[in-house]
Amino acid sequence: MDQNTSRLSPYRIFTRTEWAKLRADTPLTLTAAEVEELRGVNDRVNLDEVVAIYLPLSRLLNLYVAASQDLFSVTQNFLGGNNHKVPYIIGIAGSVAGGKSTTARILRGLLARWPNHPKVALLPTDGFLLPNAVLEREGLMNRKGFPESYDLPVLLKFLSDIKAGNHNVRAPVYSHFSYDIEPGKHITIDQPDILIVEGLNVLQTGRPPRDGKAIPYVSDYFDFSIFIDADENDLRTWYVNRFFSFRETAFADPKSYFHRYSKLSDVEAQETATRIWETVNLANLRENVLPTRQRADLILRKGPDHLINSVYLRKL
């Protein structure tokens, strides 16, 4: 990016080295073994990545959360109320195979170790996908992961209840093993200090209504948002590599929804994974996910090695 373009950008842009210096004296509170448990399939995040990228980010978010808590106290004093503080909600968006889940888990682990907000919850939005029976009935099985495949009213109701400070708010659970919602299963989130919401389309908006009436979006409930960014060719490579890893592990179980893929040859697996990527995930990325990138407060840009090489922080 040339100097003139950088000056006009709504973001401050940091190299990996520049960003790492912003850690200051933030202590490292995760071990190498814990990072190993938190990272996703084929993700190469390690302790060095945590130190260079995630410790500065956790420091920044800790400052934002503290400022939000102070603002809430001031507002309650002004209003004469004594309501419970509302959770600080962080949204994480990005492509399939980009590493959203790993980022969410690492941030949860780091943020929960700060003393002023020890209660940190994580919500994958996969649980708000419509059940397969509904998707099949509506002809949407090949659009799974696209905005129309989610039960948006239920997700918005969940976030509204969380922001209202309600106790024991329940969310449905999705199984990647059965590739469907698990009937009767829920996760319960009870007044967290911080809630991390992770999903493909969480920064999605629509066209504004002509009558001016409010239309809520998931991102309306976010206090801070992050987009995991990478080149399309790298994302495709990571997706195909992950498909091969699953072929040898999760797909091998006869009860897995994708067990049929475990019998594919290497050539067939390469062709199948590439076809799924191009017809479903790449289409969703271009149509719905990538257009929301510029709405994020922070963009983490990954290189071919799956490590973050630059950070874009929105100017205040």
State how far the Cα of 8 lies from the Cα of 26, in Å rounded to an integer.
31
State how far the Cα of 287 lies from the Cα of 74, in Å rounded to an integer.
42
Q: Can you give the pLDDT at residue 117?
A: 79
Q: What is the mean pLDDT of the chain?
A: 93
User: Is the predicted pLDDT of residue 4 greater than 60, yes or no?
Assistant: no
Question: For residue 51, what pLDDT band results from cuts at 50, 70 and 90?
Answer: very high
Residue type, position 270, single letter: Q
> Please, which residues bridge with residue 222 across strands?
none
State how far the Cα of 110 lies from the Cα of 106, in Å rounded to an integer.
6
Residues 253-274 have a mean pLDDT of: 96
User: Is the predicted pLDDT of residue 30 greater than 90, yes or no?
Assistant: yes
Q: Is 92 helix (H, G, I), strand (E, B) or coil?
A: strand
Query: Would you say 154 and 172 are in contact if contact means Cβ atoms under 8 Å apart?
Result: yes
Domain annotation for the chain: domains and CATH numbers: 3-240+293-314 (3.40.50.300)
Residues 236-246 have a mean pLDDT of: 96
Q: Is the pTM of this model over 0.85?
A: yes
User: Is the predicted pLDDT of residue 10 greater than 60, yes or no?
Assistant: yes
pLDDT digits (tens, 9 = 90+) for 198-231: 999 999 987 777 777 777 899 999 999 999 999 9
Q: Can you give the pLDDT at residue 6?
A: 58
Residue type, position 311, single letter: V
Residue 4: in which H helix or E strand, if any? helix 3-8
Question: For residue 82, what pLDDT band results from cuts at 50, 70 and 90?
Answer: low
Q: Can you give the pLDDT at residue 2?
A: 47
Q: Can you give the pLDDT at residue 7?
A: 67
pLDDT digits (tens, 9 = 90+) for 91-134: 999 999 999 999 999 999 999 999 887 899 999 999 999 999 99
